Amino acid sequence: MTEYQTAIIPYLQNLATANESVLMENEMKKAVGARRGILDALESAGAIVSEAATYAQAEKRTVLQVVDMQKAYAAKFCKVWPYCRS
């Protein structure tokens, strides 16, 4: 990808913060070594972006679009943290 729509950033931020209070409450109940944090969130964002890039590449586009992110989120729903409540 050579470019991305800037609307992707608030899209990911909104996904991550929509359930923030519930997620953090759940994480605090876990043992310290089992808690997920910022690095886990960054890895999750990377997984969604990587999936989204495959959609753009399949359409031979060099610009990553929000629609690609939405498809990736649907495909990876609840497989990446913190983008769902699990």
pLDDT per position as a tens digit, 63-79: 999 999 999 988 876 66
Residue of 15, 28, 5 whose CA lies nearest to 84: 15
HEC string of the chain? CCEECCCHHHHHHHHHHHCHHHHHHHHHCCCHHHCCCHHHHHHHHHHHHHHHHHHHHHCCCCEECHHHHHHHHHHHCCCCCCCCCC
pTM of the model: 0.74
Q: What is the pLDDT of residue 85?
A: 53
Work out the average pLDDT over 31-36: 78
Domain boundaries, the chain: 3-76
